[in-house]
């Protein structure tokens, strides 16, 4: 009897075991779900399923960028405790996973993409996760994955905080390959990556903000102003001022550059200044910021 994708999904939902192992178990058991669960137990795979529901709030963020700046990847691996996050075997798993992610130009954007990828040592990332689980005994999972591959006029840079709990990957775009080769471009990319780590922008530019979110915020601010006894004639001006502040907080290009103590230089200004120095326009093409303490997410220029 042929095994369907739905049956594989049902077995995975029931056990927490990887899709490949679920498919193999169903093939071995004639697509019988209960028998497949027993097969997984007999082969030691259901042990992981017993812990699959436990929360994985700890872990490490790993980043790798090729020497030429043309390829960069960032991977979040999660575990249950801070103790395991510092474990040598878990650190080794993180190293294997990031090397698998950065190994070639193949796009990787989902955990399943990475889990299927072979590590430099031969096994897939999924197999390495299962092996490490067997040694450590905590629930382990691949969280978020981002990979950027730059063209002839692009470059990728990164920033990883010392505790491996906050990481940033940023892709910049120039007009010519010579612009990318300018040392000032690499310095600019590193500065912006560090800024993103500290300032935690949500989107690249104003146009990417959800209009419905702005409308909800506008209505809330107006209601708060009315409750505060503000005259109706001044409410619109107050609300617009607060919305400008919000946009400056969440939009990368609008944020004050963290190294400008007076707060007068935005990231857009910084890019304009660097473009003059480099001799051609330089822009941020995409960025991703991971934090184990919060989910800020990823933004891609449209």
Q: What percent of the chain has pLDDT over 70?
A: 90
210-250 shares the fold of 5-51 = no
Averaged pLDDT, 250-273: 93
Mean pLDDT for the chain overall: 87
Residue extents of the structural domains in the chain: 5-51, 54-149, 152-209+251-302, 210-250
pLDDT digits over 117-173, tens only?
A: 999 988 999 999 999 988 888 889 999 999 999 999 999 999 999 999 999 999 999
| CATH architecture group of domain 210-250 | Orthogonal Bundle (1.10)
Asked if 132 and 79 count as a contact pair (C-beta separation under 8 A), the reply is no
Averaged pLDDT, 223-242: 81
Rounded distance, CA 237 to CA 166, Å?
Answer: 37
Sheet containing 154-160: order of strands = 154-160, 166-173, 283-291, 297-300
pLDDT (0 to 100) of residue 1: 67
Which DSSP helix (H) or strand (E) runs through 79?
strand 71-79
- Cα 25 to Cα 29, 132, 287: the distances in Å are 6, 21, 40
Query: Where residue 300 falls among pLDDT bands split at 50, 70, 90?
Result: very low
Query: Where residue 19 falls among pLDDT bands split at 50, 70, 90?
Result: confident
pLDDT (0 to 100) of residue 295: 39
Q: Taking 70 as the threshold, does the pLDDT of residue 283 lie above it?
A: yes
Averaged pLDDT, 255-262: 91
Q: Taking 80 as the threshold, does the pLDDT of residue 190 lie above it?
A: yes
Q: Taking 60 as the threshold, does the pLDDT of residue 46 lie above it?
A: no
The dotted CATH code for 5-51 is: 1.10.8.10
Q: Give residues with Cβ within 8 angstroms of 180, minimum separation 6.
A: 69, 150, 152, 153, 154, 155, 174
pTM score: 0.75
CATH topology of domain 54-149: Tetrahydropterin Synthase; Chain A (3.30.479)
The dotted CATH code for 152-209+251-302 is: 3.30.479.20
pLDDT (0 to 100) of residue 276: 97
């Amino acid at each position: 009897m042929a095994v369907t994708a739905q049956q594989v999904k049902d077995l995975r939902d029931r056990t927490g075991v990887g899709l490949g192992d679920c498919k193999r178990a169903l093939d071995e058991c004639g697509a019988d779900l209960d028998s497949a669960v027993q097969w997984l137990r007999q082969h030691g795979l259901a042990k992981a399923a017993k812990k699959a529901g436990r929360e994985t709030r700890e872990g490490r963020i790993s980043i790798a960028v090729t020497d030429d700046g043309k390829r960069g990847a960032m991977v979040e691996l999660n575990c249950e405790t801070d103790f395991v996050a510092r474990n040598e075997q878990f650190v080794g798993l993180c190293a294997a996973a990031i090397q698998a992610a950065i190994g070639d130009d193949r796009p990787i954007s989902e955990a399943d993409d990475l889990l299927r990828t072979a590590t430099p040592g031969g096994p897939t990332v999924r197999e390495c996760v299962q092996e490490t689980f067997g040694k450590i005994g905590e629930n382990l999972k691949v969280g978020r994955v981002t990979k950027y591959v730059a063209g002839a006029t692009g470059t990728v840079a990164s920033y990883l905080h010392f505790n491996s709990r906050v990481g940033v990957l940023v892709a910049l775009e120039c007009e010519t390959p010579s612009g990318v080769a300018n040392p000032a471009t690499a310095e600019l990319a590193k500065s912006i990556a560090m800024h993103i780590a500290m300032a935690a922008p949500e989107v690249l530019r104003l146009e990417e903000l959800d209009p419905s979110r702005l409308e909800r915020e506008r209505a809330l601010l107006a209601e708060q102003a009315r409750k505060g006894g503000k005259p109706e004639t001044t409410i619109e001006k107050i609300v617009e001022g607060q919305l400008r502040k919000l946009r400056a907080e969440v939009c990368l290009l609008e944020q004050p550059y963290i190294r400008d103590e007076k707060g007068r230089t935005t990231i857009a200004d910084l890019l304009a200044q660097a473009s003059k120095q480099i001799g051609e326009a330089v822009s941020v093409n995409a960025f991703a910021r991971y934090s184990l303490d919060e989910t800020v997410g990823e933004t891609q220029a449209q």
